[in-house]
Amino acid sequence: MASITFSGTTGNFSLLPTAAVSENSNHIKDGFNPLKKNLSNTRKKHNGRSLVSTNVASPPLPAITHPPPKRESGNGYDGSHVAWTSVRQERWEGELLVQGEIPLWLKGTYLRNGPGLWHVGDYNFRHLFDGYAMLVKLHFHDGRLTAGHRQIESEAYKAAMKNKKLCFREFSEVPKPNNFLSYIGELANLFSGASLTDNANTGVVKLADGRVVCLTETQKGSIVIDPATLETVGKFEYSDTLGGLIHSAHPIVTDTEFLTLLPDLINPGYLAVRMEPGTNERKVIGRVDCSRGPAPGWVHSFPVTEHYIIVPEMPLRYCAGNLLKAEPTPLYKFEWHPDSKAFMHVMCKASGNIVASVEVPLYITFHFINAYEETDEDGRVTALIADCCEHNADTTILDKLKIQNLRSYTGKDVLPDAKVGRFRIPLDGSPYGNLEAALDPNEHGRGMDMCSINPAFLGQKYRYAYACGAQRPCNFPNTLTKIDLVEKKAKNWYDEGAVPSEPFFVARPGATEEDDGVVISMISAKNGDGYALLLDGSTFEEIARAKFPYGLPYGLHGCWVPFK
Ligand SMILES: CC1=C(/C=C/C(C)=C/C=C/C(C)=C/C=C/C=C(C)/C=C/C=O)C(C)(C)CCC1
Ligand SMILES: [Fe+2]
């Protein structure tokens, strides 16, 4: 009888395949079945029920595995932390044993998207953002937790699995042409967008009409999934004729609309567009022209206030030349143009008119946290405040996120400093805006990214943000941090050697305080474990955790699908 162990290159990686209770269960080496370990270790009474980690709810599934790449491949892989180790199984589902108490009001599914597979065959990808998208779900019901993961079946992923090689252009990876003719064909495909990836590995949003869409920065990488099964339903096809190839990876999604920005690489600028629930048609609200620089700035996310869309224009700009290159450049598809300056543009949501375009200090941000309007005593809006995770205008963060750098941590403090950058954008016609730290960055170890807020405070004056900070030395943000923007203080959660993913706030139904709710994160632990963690949104103390039967790779952004 064939037996496959999943002992990985880390030596501490264990994975309970979905096939554990299926006809494929012979694929698990007896002494290595973590289900057995769980059964013996974790039969406990909880809320009067006997809880064991079991996957009996899962239907028999094919055991599609992703064998780890050979160590000898010579491109930097040393398998040092489970956060940066590809998941071995295409999918899994099961109930987790919960330590602590999950509040009974927490009913629904937390979904987290992110790269989960960083190799095809023996070829290792170079950058964190190259990995093939993997969804993780945590389904909370009656104080219990059913979890799972599944690869998103994008064209890029399916083609790589079928042909055992990279077939589409990813963030830093480009497929190797077989010959000169195919190179020419490849260039043509690039202009049409055909060779760009649809690997939707960045975020996941629940639209007001109930559809759940995974996203990346290519428009074609908008993929509808089923939040219960994590199955790939199909492409989200935009029915309009706006064209373009890329968009912001972080649309603003509310009960009434979906707003996003489409950078225009031909006539440098941005289109702000709106899509109504139940439709696939984006309509133009307005346009911002870039007055300086050869191309628009990278726009991974953007903030909104009640009445305005803020269009950030960073000096880290898209670069058509770099898009065409076969090998990654130091700044990938982008270029740093400090001479072209940095701007914040303000567009009226209702009219599409630009009401301010101010020059601001140079900055680098991927993630805006929130924004709101400042008013005078007559209720007139005098300025906008926009907060972001700001990397001190230093582009080196992109390099630090190379997989090889993440995997080869030596204990030295190499994470570049970051802060909560607070922009003040005057609406009185002044040409300049300010950018300052909203609190002393030492409060959060000078690490700052992957943020969430109470969604009821979107576009409103707010007090709390949840993000990943740093406890130094480190090479990656390693704390969960609650930022109090009024007291200018941070409270940090830390587990030595652990890599936590974005803390996601879910408000308690009926809450009247901004921080009344829970914060969900998934942790890739030092010993190779993976666990879901629940912190109290107010005290920031742990209230529950639940261990997966396998280690979790790092993930990016999540969303909440409430139980109906
Ligand atoms: C595939 C193409 C592109 C893809 C761009 C992608 C996938 C961008 C993803 C960006 C992400 C996930 C940014 C996250 C930042 C997180 C940070 C800084 C965390 C820091 C921690 O300290 C384009 C580049 C759009 C070009 C076309 C092809
Ligand atoms: Fe992001």
pLDDT given for residue 79 in this prediction: 54
pLDDT given for residue 492 in this prediction: 98
Residue 332 CA, closest ligand 1 atom number: 24
Q: Is the pLDDT of residue 266 over 50?
A: yes
pLDDT given for residue 326 in this prediction: 84
515-561: per-residue pLDDT in tens?
A: 999 999 999 999 999 999 999 999 999 999 999 999 999 999 999 99
Sequence letter at residue 221: G
Residue nearest to atom 20 of ligand 1 (CA): 449
Do 536 and 2 form a contact (C-beta atoms < 8 A)? no
pLDDT given for residue 65 in this prediction: 80
- Domain membership of residue 353 (yes or no) is yes
Please tell me whether the peptide bond between 315 and the residue prior to it is cis, using omega within 30 degrees of 0: no
User: 3: exposed, middle or buried (C-beta count within 10 Å: 0-12, 13-18, 19+)?
Assistant: exposed
pLDDT given for residue 85 in this prediction: 96
Task: Write out residues with Cβ below 6 Å of ligand 1.
Answer: 129, 169-171, 196-197, 202, 216-218, 246, 249, 300, 333, 366, 397, 449, 477, 556
- Domain membership of residue 503 (yes or no) is yes
Which residue from 276, 228, 188, 191 is spatially nearest to 564, judged by alpha carbons?
Answer: 228
pLDDT given for residue 106 in this prediction: 98
316-375: per-residue pLDDT in tens?
A: 999 988 988 888 999 999 999 999 999 999 999 999 999 999 999 999 999 999 999 999
pLDDT-based confidence at 135, cuts 50/70/90?
very high
* Averaged pLDDT for residues 236-248: 97
> Which residues, in sequence order, are CB contacts of 178 under 8 Å at separation 6+?
none
174-226: per-residue pLDDT in tens?
A: 998 876 666 666 667 777 789 999 999 999 999 999 999 999 999 999 999 99
- Domain membership of residue 447 (yes or no) is yes
Give the three-class secondary structure for 439.
coil
Q: What DSSP line would sit under 296-323, residue for residue?
A: PBP-S---B-SSEEEEEE-SEEE-HHHH
438-478: per-residue pLDDT in tens?
A: 999 999 999 999 999 999 999 999 999 999 999 999 999 99
Q: Please tell me the distance between residue 144's alpha carbon and the centre of ligand 2 in angstroms.
A: 29
Edge to edge, the sheet with strand 434-437 lists: 365-375, 381-390, 419-426, 434-437
- Domain membership of residue 512 (yes or no) is yes
- Domain membership of residue 453 (yes or no) is yes
The number of folded domains in the chain is 1
Residue nearest to atom 13 of ligand 1 (CA): 366
25-80: per-residue pLDDT in tens?
A: 222 222 223 333 333 333 333 333 333 333 434 444 455 788 888 653 333 345 57
Residue nearest to atom 4 of ligand 1 (CA): 171
- Which of the listed residues 216, 250, 317 should we mutate to test ligand 1's pocket, taking the one with most ligand atoms within 8 A of CB? 216
Residue 450 CA, closest ligand 1 atom number: 19
What share of the chain has pLDDT > 90, as a percent?
Answer: 80
- Domain membership of residue 465 (yes or no) is yes
Residues in the chain: 564
Write down the pTM of the prediction.
0.90
Winning range, highest mean pLDDT, from 12-16, 247-251, 328-332: 247-251
CA–CA separation, 451 and 458 (whole Å): 13
Q: Is the pLDDT of residue 486 over 70?
A: yes
- What are the binding residues for Fe cation? 250, 300, 367, 557
The residue ranking higher by pLDDT, 178 or 93, is 93
Give the three-class secondary structure for 255.
coil
Q: Please tell me the distance between residue 28's alpha carbon and the centre of ligand 2 in angstroms.
A: 36
Mean model confidence pLDDT for the chain: 88
Q: Is the pLDDT of residue 481 over 90?
A: yes
Do 373 and 384 form a contact (C-beta atoms < 8 A)? yes
Q: Please tell me the distance between residue 391's alpha carbon and the centre of ligand 1 in angstroms.
A: 15
pLDDT given for residue 61 in this prediction: 46
- Domain membership of residue 12 (yes or no) is no
Residue 171 CA, closest ligand 1 atom number: 1
- Domain membership of residue 282 (yes or no) is yes
Q: What DSSP line would sit under 196-237, residue for residue?
A: B-----SEEEE-TTS-EEEE-SBGGG-EEE-TTT--EEEE--
pLDDT given for residue 178 in this prediction: 75
Task: Give the helix, strand, coil percentages of the chain, each rounded to 5.
Answer: 15, 35, 50
Range of the domain at 68: 18-562
Q: Please tell me the distance between residue 94's alpha carbon and the centre of ligand 1 in angstroms.
A: 31
pLDDT-based confidence at 18, cuts 50/70/90?
very low
> Which residues, in sequence order, are CB contacts of 214 under 8 Å at separation 6+?
113, 133, 135, 152, 200, 201, 203, 204, 221, 222, 223, 224, 225
Q: Please tell me the distance between residue 112's alpha carbon and the centre of ligand 1 in angstroms.
A: 16
Do 393 and 456 form a contact (C-beta atoms < 8 A)? no
Residue nearest to atom 2 of ligand 1 (CA): 171
pLDDT given for residue 189 in this prediction: 75
